[in-house]
Amino acid sequence: MHGSSVTHYRKKVPRTGAAREDSDRIRLRPAWLMWGAILTILVSFVSPKMSVLLGGAVAAWGIWYARAEYLPALIVVQFSIANFFIAGGGGIVPPIMVIAGFPFNVGYIIAFAMAARNVYEFLNTDTFRQAGVRWLFILWLIAIPFTMVMSVMGKLEENMSWTGPLRVTLMAGAFFYGLILRKTWPVDGRVIYKGLVPIMVVFYLLADFSLFWHRYLFVFVALGVPAGILATRQRRLLWKVLGWMCVILTVDYGLGLGIVSFIKLGGGLESLEGDATSSGGLGGIAGGSATLTLNFVMLSSAAMTMFYFIRTLPGRRLAGRLLGLPAFGFLVAFSVMIALLSPRYAITNATLGEDAGSASVSEKLMYKLFDERSVIWNATFEDIVNGPKIFRPSGRPVIIPMYNGEDREWVHGAHNVIMEVLVSLRFVAGPIVLCMYAVAMIGCARTFGSEGLMARGVLAIATLATALIGGVTGHYPMTDEVSFLFMGLAGLGWTASTGAAKSEWLVVAQKAAAKRGRDRNSRYHRRRSFFAR
């Protein structure tokens, strides 16, 4: 009516962050981003610094326009000439650019871009609040300034790897980034069998022919079996073949069998044994080049895969509960116990003697715990207890007392997640990062014990196997080189609560039922159209 005021209400648009329409219009196709990542690798053979610029641009774009389909490309873009043992690569320093005294490579750019994307998500959406980790995100932001101070202290002492604490803390934020990617995660998990499985097959083959190495292979050992089994359950023959190849290559690499090397050499058992043990290490259960840590990571992942995919197997829900907080508590208690019980003497082969290859599994395990690892843990534990409590200059070595009365400076890490995080980040940032580690384990264990979350359960299995086994005798899960993939998979496979898992399972079941209905209708119409001709 004329002269009357009419109030118009605009429907409130939910705050969905990465799912905004403008982001959907701008985003690149996953294949284009993958080609950019491959081009980055090729450029690193010609101009390493140019590869940092190109890879940084590709990574920053993929990180900001957060899509689950971009994850495979974000993995590949971190590889460079330093990871390939061809054309003079391998064993060289990774491509780095120094800007204002701070070293940058593609991984560092990913860390800073991911931190900015997480802050943007925190300020503009309710993603973290709905997941129940808003408080954890605030604690993570508090930890960053403490690690910056420690990095500056390490720089003033001119220590190596002085940026370590800052990089580790920033990369731990991949857990929150995984929660962002989960909003665009496809129900059928096609990112796994179309993206991750082919990547693992290709780089496993390159690694078996001694052409490639990267610490992501340690995470692939935990991911390969469940991801491969998921791929074999697809209808297309291509995914089935790639799935079985992924499973076989994971077992081969995880146990150090050297099957591919044996085929390459075309020799007898002598050739197989010689190539498998060429690394000169202890070897694992099968006597191959893989360590006991990788052996047990792969075997635990395979065991959890059996529990997960055989739905009628009892005890899976109970196992899911035990793999969360109780398992993390055991990890802490076990680490402290071994560190306190270990004798203080130099790293020797006293348990195995001269012939390590002929030792039994129990002898190798005792060596791993009480000879090779425990003396490092003992020295690290004393550094944690007697050293600075809040700020410790980054890159400062741990002093290991030798059996001959001398001291040895150890800069190769604590080989235990709990010890490494506390010795490098101390008692403010360290407990915060360990809390993120524990929350990731608990949420993934909840996913493992739930029904129907098939694709995300694969990621939960990889996270749990890496966290529980790899975190005991290794610290690689929380290194800046691995944390992006490890904590990112944890965020993707994470479940907030049992009720959330049940509601998500209902959505998955409804979509699957609707898809089956569409398939039946399409087949019915095809039959009618055929008989109508």
Per DSSP, 2 falls in state: T
How far is the C-alpha of 256 from the C-alpha of 273, rounded, in Å? Answer: 10
Q: Considering the chain, what percentage of its residues have pLDDT values greater than 70? A: 70
Q: What is the pLDDT of residue 372?
A: 65
pLDDT band at 510 (very low <50, low <70, confident <90, very high): low
**Distance between terminal CA atoms of the chain?**
60
Q: Are 136 and 436 in contact (CB under 8 A)?
A: yes
Q: Are 264 and 209 in contact (CB under 8 A)?
A: yes
Q: Are 379 and 399 in contact (CB under 8 A)?
A: yes
How far is the C-alpha of 360 from the C-alpha of 351, rounded, in Å? Answer: 11
- Minimal CA–CA distance to 461: which of 249, 223, 245? 223
Quote the distance between the C-alpha of residue 175 and its chain's center. 10
**DSSP β-bridge partners for residue 103:** 98
Positive or negative CA dihedral for 230, 235, 238, 240? positive
Q: What is the pLDDT of residue 513?
A: 56
User: What 3-state class would DSSP assign to 494?
Assistant: coil
How far is the C-alpha of 241 from the C-alpha of 55, rounded, in Å? Answer: 31
The amino acid that residue 254 corresponds to is G
pLDDT band at 274 (very low <50, low <70, confident <90, very high): very low
DSSP β-ladder status, 97-99 and 102-104:
antiparallel
Per DSSP, 10 falls in state: P
How far is the C-alpha of 208 from the C-alpha of 263, rounded, in Å? Answer: 11
Q: Residues for the chain: how many in total? A: 533
* DSSP class per residue in 187-251: TT-HIIIIIIHHHHHHHHHHHHTTSB--THHHHHHHHHHHHHHHHHTSSSHHHHHHHHHHHHHHH
Positive or negative CA dihedral for 459, 463, 469, 474? positive
pLDDT digits (tens, 9 = 90+) for 386-430: 889 899 998 888 887 765 556 777 777 888 899 899 999 999 999
The amino acid that residue 193 corresponds to is Y
- Minimal CA–CA distance to 419: which of 400, 442, 403? 400
pLDDT digits (tens, 9 = 90+) for 428-481: 999 999 999 999 999 998 888 876 667 888 999 999 999 988 888 888 999 888
pLDDT band at 334 (very low <50, low <70, confident <90, very high): confident
Query: Between 309 and 27, whose confidence is greater?
Result: 309
pLDDT band at 342 (very low <50, low <70, confident <90, very high): low
pLDDT band at 498 (very low <50, low <70, confident <90, very high): low
pLDDT band at 280 (very low <50, low <70, confident <90, very high): very low
Per DSSP, 397 falls in state: P
Q: Is the pLDDT of residue 528 over 60?
A: no
Q: Is the pLDDT of residue 2 over 80?
A: no
Where does residue 35 fall: left (phi above 0), alpha (psi -120 to 50 degrees), or beta otherwise?
alpha
Q: Dihedrals φ, ψ of 139, to 5°?
A: -60, -40
pLDDT band at 331 (very low <50, low <70, confident <90, very high): confident
Where does residue 158 fall: left (phi above 0), alpha (psi -120 to 50 degrees), or beta otherwise?
left
Q: Is the pLDDT of residue 284 over 50?
A: no
How far is the C-alpha of 243 from the C-alpha of 231, rounded, in Å? Answer: 5
Q: What is the pLDDT of residue 452?
A: 62
Q: Is the pLDDT of residue 196 over 90?
A: yes
Q: How many helices (H) does the chain have, and how many strands (E)? A: 25, 4
How far is the C-alpha of 459 from the C-alpha of 478, rounded, in Å? Answer: 17
Average pLDDT of the residues of the chain: 78
